Structure 1
């Protein structure tokens, strides 16, 4: 006799709780990695945790198949399982995470195109976190007007590590001074209290105490960054501006390792600090990438349905040779579909492109690569596509797009936050803003290189500018590892024919890179190119790349903090 709906629902609940426990086990290692400065193991933990979700889903599917046997795709049975499952989780803070896990299972069993509300949890008309009223666990401190240093010394003492502070009182004094300076515009004695989450957030080489500072009538985010290097454990900076905290929690970086007992209450708290950050991005940066995808789908389609007369159109920018990119003009996302064929000189396959995007998903994106989420079996009304876009998708993306009645079904697409393409941005800005953007473009290439990432195609059109003015790379089809490249001097011509040749007259192998030739194809105007050369001239010297390669090959990754040196504490 096959298993009953209540028993199957309990198996799914237990499977998610097993995933949650294993997720927490990996996350909890972050403290030890930080204390021992084991950055290589921390990177391995990040990759292991990302892979864990699909691993646990696959394990659960095998268990359900053994129990269901020939009823694995019995729609009526799954309707009953859904009802039983909803009752099991209705009082949980993190019930949305449980629902997403359940939806993943049904979609893999039924290969659903679009959504099936009879067997899936769908809530396009509400914001589920609005129902969470449980306060997240936190420390609260009254800040003495006369003895603020003592308060912050106590704050640091409450967050214990198995390595001592190099000088806790000096750190406390530096934090107090920075907060007094940052909040001076609040008036005399601006700082009344501080609240910090119990959970320490870890990422890359830093530990973060996350919370807010409160004055008499206002509050501001407060993030204290701690480092543990050859100088010992110490406070490195304090972030109070929302723009800086939003960048720290941005999707162009790897996910935090924060051992939160429950997630939904932490998301609600973080939204008070960053009210303009989409909820999907908050879930994602906490390592709950699948929930981030669910929330992104929910919020986009709610907006999509609320604007029934707006069409999907080609995204602004130079058309790509590998991807067709479209957007809904009123919503800040782009959808990227792989073309069936790539124009010369692109030599990669469709599988190669998918592998590149998968690789970026697992990388420390160092603040310079957009997080990209892959979606399968999305269903859109055919009439919502502009005629030009619809024609191109059906002609050039037939491996990804099919027609079903009045709908287009997209088998695979990649979704990113929409940025202004750098080549367009530079044309639109006044001279000084364009110069600063060009310099940050150079810094982006340098930052990526320090994390063993070579963009491959460094044309301006492949970079965008975020709302905070940062250059971010978003086109990954030619991305590769620095350690896989062969950085070479460009041979000197020995004859007039060689000097005038349009193509290299010498052997060029896959992976060969000639840094001195970068300026010829970047496409920067003369003034911006000169500024880039003055500040980032190292990028055009083969010696710089070869020296960096040597460091990366022995695991010596340069530190790339998510804030400028000017913000570090004295």
Structure 2
């Protein structure tokens, strides 16, 4: 006989469902208010406020979730309710979402409430939205998120129409020059016949703000192909703005939406439709990556988990230890056919690592809250994540037991990992340099390594352990840092000249403080082979000097906010 809730319990479930949705709606209004303010911060050049707003927006979710859970506990004795109550609560909540413009985000918020109450131990589709409650059909609200521009006019008139639609309370540095640059760039990209065949130019309604840049993101529609159409705009400290580039290659757009960059501020009430449009432009990007790029990183985690479950059903390979040198702090494994790695904090660290488990967590949180400037991989924290035991290589199970047993829980059919991080998979730089025979690619990788270290420092983070095994290289040849257990803010280190000695590895330990760093030693540690050392020193020899690091400290203390352009320098328009 099926259990049925009493009228009183049903009424209570309705109140709880309404309460959860109310907190989600309040959270999204808060999220929108911060996002909408990005344009004014861009116009006024309030770069420090831009960074603070980014951190505040990340914190919104946890604050709203805590408030919702607290009210649920105040409403009822949650642990006295059986599963039937929570199943009914989910059904009522799903009915409330009918016609809701952010229904998919609201489902994730509901999942977070249930997860918090049950400490993420009940991953059950009867009680949570493990699978979405409905199928989203892209295009049904397309008119709410795009502007279409007339292509029967001249190219210049089309651009003029775009800038009449997208208006900013800040003058252009040279409007006529920018229009001419844009026209020339489009004519250089498309032949006369292609230009004549353009059926539509569609641009997403929200401007995408990040750092000191703003992007109009859209596409050029032709009978046989569709190209990205991205107008990149910039500001310096002067009271004006300028068009920096026209980007029409998917590779450029992919880098702009890269996993090592901070989240965009793009104001929309229809995030599912925006994400769907972006995926049409970037078919190689996963849907969860695009939600994360829009700042909806919690929902991105939900979509990732769904994608992960789907991949398990359509693959047969086994989880195994990730390639590369074993880390001293993290145990890292992967599924060869899937594009992420799973990282677990080890139970014990090598003696050389004078840190704690909480310190490691704090470091990963610091990166989450910082401007990752395209050089630090985004990581996503999970608790009680489940893996099918029959898909895990026996050697990996043994290694996990040896290195991080306290984070493991075994059931009859599953391995539950109590706490871990997920990160995009990259080729470890040390492996890349061992295998690559093209001298130009090796030189480019080492140049990228030096630039990566420098840009992270300019973002006010000292990378700490700069061994090249702690960096990865993407398919676009970009070097990204991904090992955060020794990072800190720049002002937390004292950069000193190396005490004189005949032995380059010897230091008078009596004169060394715990925060002292000796840049002259970096050449011995960053890369191993003499050939690689010489290339790195030739390209970035200033990294091995205390003067360089002290100058960066001064800029960070002054509060200078840096901007690093995500596309190649040769794509930028020339300015006087």
Match of 1:492 among 500, 503, 521: 500
Task: Tell me, in whole angstroms, the C-alpha distance in 1 between the residues paired with 2:193 and 2:476.
Answer: 24
Q: Which moved more, 1:510-519 or 1:210-219?
A: 210-219
- Find the counterpart in structure 2 of residue 206 from structure 1: 213
Task: Tell me, in whole angstroms, the C-alpha distance in 1 between the residues paired with 2:181 and 2:78.
Answer: 66
Residue by residue over 1:411-454, the C-alpha shift from the partner in whole angstroms, topping out at 9 and shown as x without a partner, is 00100011010000111112221111111111111111111122
Match of 1:320, SS state, is coil
For residue 404 of structure 1, report the CA deviation from its aligned partner.
2.4
Q: Which moved more, 1:70-79 or 1:250-259?
A: 70-79
Q: Is 1:316 aligned to residue 311 of structure 2? A: no
For residue 529 of structure 1, report the CA deviation from its aligned partner.
2.6
Q: Is 1:421 aligned to residue 428 of structure 2? A: yes
Match of 1:370, SS state, is coil
CA gap of 1:531–1:129, structure 2 versus 1, over 3 A, is: farther
Q: What aligned pairs does 1:245-394 form with structure 2 within 5 A after superposition? A: 245-307=253-315, 309-394=316-401
CA gap of 1:431–1:257, structure 2 versus 1, over 3 A, is: same
For residue 530 of structure 1, report the CA deviation from its aligned partner.
2.5
Match of 2:227, SS state, is strand
Q: What aligned pairs does 1:44-443 form with structure 2 within 5 A after superposition? A: 44-69=52-77, 73-113=81-121, 115-123=123-131, 128-130=135-137, 133-135=140-142, 136-143=144-151, 147-184=154-191, 187=194, 193-231=200-238, 232-307=240-315, 309-429=316-436, 430-443=438-451
Q: Are the aligned partners of 2:138 and 2:273 in contact in 1 as well (CA < 8 Å)?
A: no
Match of 2:459 among 441, 445, 451: 451
Q: Which moved more, 1:84-93 or 1:412-421?
A: 84-93
What's the TM-score, normalizing by structure 2? Answer: 0.93
- Find the counterpart in structure 1 of residue 568 from structure 2: 564
For residue 192 of structure 1, report the CA deviation from its aligned partner.
5.5
For residue 93 of structure 1, report the CA deviation from its aligned partner.
4.0
Residue by residue over 1:452-476, the C-alpha shift from the partner in whole angstroms, topping out at 9 and shown as x without a partner, is 1221111111001112111001111
Task: Tell me, in whole angstroms, the C-alpha distance in 2 between the residues paired with 1:486 and 1:42.
Answer: 29
Q: Are the aligned partners of 2:120 and 2:383 in contact in 1 as well (CA < 8 Å)?
A: no
Q: Are the aligned partners of 1:114 and 1:378 in contact in 2 as well (CA < 8 Å)?
A: no
Match of 1:354, SS state, is helix
For residue 548 of structure 1, report the CA deviation from its aligned partner.
1.5
Q: Is 1:521 aligned to residue 529 of structure 2? A: no
For residue 149 of structure 1, report the CA deviation from its aligned partner.
2.2
For residue 342 of structure 1, report the CA deviation from its aligned partner.
0.1
For residue 144 of structure 1, report the CA deviation from its aligned partner.
5.3
Q: Is 1:468 aligned to residue 472 of structure 2? A: no
Task: Tell me, in whole angstroms, the C-alpha distance in 2 between the residues paired with 1:435 and 1:114.
Answer: 50
- Find the counterpart in structure 2 of residue 545 from structure 1: 549
Task: Tell me, in whole angstroms, the C-alpha distance in 1 between the residues paired with 2:221 and 2:464.
Answer: 46
Task: Tell me, in whole angstroms, the C-alpha distance in 2 between the residues paired with 1:537 and 1:545.
Answer: 12
Task: Tell me, in whole angstroms, the C-alpha distance in 2 between the residues paired with 1:437 and 1:456.
Answer: 20
Q: Are the aligned partners of 1:394 and 1:402 in contact in 2 as well (CA < 8 Å)?
A: no
CA gap of 1:567–1:506, structure 2 versus 1, over 3 A, is: farther
Q: Are the aligned partners of 1:129 and 1:268 in contact in 2 as well (CA < 8 Å)?
A: no
Task: Tell me, in whole angstroms, the C-alpha distance in 2 between the residues paired with 1:68 and 1:551.
Answer: 53
Task: Tell me, in whole angstroms, the C-alpha distance in 1 between the residues paired with 2:507 and 2:235.
Answer: 50
Q: Are the aligned partners of 1:73 and 1:109 in contact in 2 as well (CA < 8 Å)?
A: no
Q: Are the aligned partners of 2:138 and 2:276 in contact in 1 as well (CA < 8 Å)?
A: no
CA gap of 1:500–1:515, structure 2 versus 1, over 3 A, is: closer
Q: Are the aligned partners of 2:292 and 2:299 in contact in 1 as well (CA < 8 Å)?
A: yes
Mind listing any 5+ residue stretches in structure 2 that lack a counterpart?
A: 1-7
Q: Are the aligned partners of 1:237 and 1:569 in contact in 2 as well (CA < 8 Å)?
A: yes
For residue 354 of structure 1, report the CA deviation from its aligned partner.
0.6
Task: Tell me, in whole angstroms, the C-alpha distance in 1 between the residues paired with 2:327 and 2:193.
Answer: 49
Task: Tell me, in whole angstroms, the C-alpha distance in 2 between the residues paired with 1:483 and 1:418.
Answer: 31
Q: Are the aligned partners of 1:96 and 1:128 in contact in 2 as well (CA < 8 Å)?
A: no
- Find the counterpart in structure 1 of residue 558 from structure 2: 554
Task: Tell me, in whole angstroms, the C-alpha distance in 2 between the residues paired with 1:558 and 1:61.
Answer: 39
Q: Which moved more, 1:243-252 or 1:508-517?
A: 508-517
For residue 165 of structure 1, report the CA deviation from its aligned partner.
1.5
Task: Tell me, in whole angstroms, the C-alpha distance in 2 between the residues paired with 1:470 and 1:523.
Answer: 17
Task: Tell me, in whole angstroms, the C-alpha distance in 2 between the residues paired with 1:62 and 1:28.
Answer: 29
CA gap of 1:132–1:107, structure 2 versus 1, over 3 A, is: farther
For residue 531 of structure 1, report the CA deviation from its aligned partner.
2.6
Residue by residue over 1:372-419, the C-alpha shift from the partner in whole angstroms, topping out at 9 and shown as x without a partner, is 000101122223221121112123212211222332211001000110
For residue 131 of structure 1, report the CA deviation from its aligned partner.
5.9
Task: Tell me, in whole angstroms, the C-alpha distance in 2 between the residues paired with 1:11 and 1:547.
Answer: 52
For residue 514 of structure 1, report the CA deviation from its aligned partner.
1.4
What's the TM-score, normalizing by structure 1? Answer: 0.94
For residue 102 of structure 1, report the CA deviation from its aligned partner.
0.6
Residue by residue over 1:293-323, the C-alpha shift from the partner in whole angstroms, topping out at 9 and shown as x without a partner, is 001111012111322x422100001001101
Match of 1:272, SS state, is helix
Q: Are the aligned partners of 2:102 and 2:269 in contact in 1 as well (CA < 8 Å)?
A: no
- Size of the aligned set, in residue pairs, is 563
Q: Are the aligned partners of 1:113 and 1:378 in contact in 2 as well (CA < 8 Å)?
A: no
Q: Are the aligned partners of 2:381 and 2:420 in contact in 1 as well (CA < 8 Å)?
A: yes
For residue 214 of structure 1, report the CA deviation from its aligned partner.
2.6
Q: Are the aligned partners of 1:438 and 1:528 in contact in 2 as well (CA < 8 Å)?
A: yes
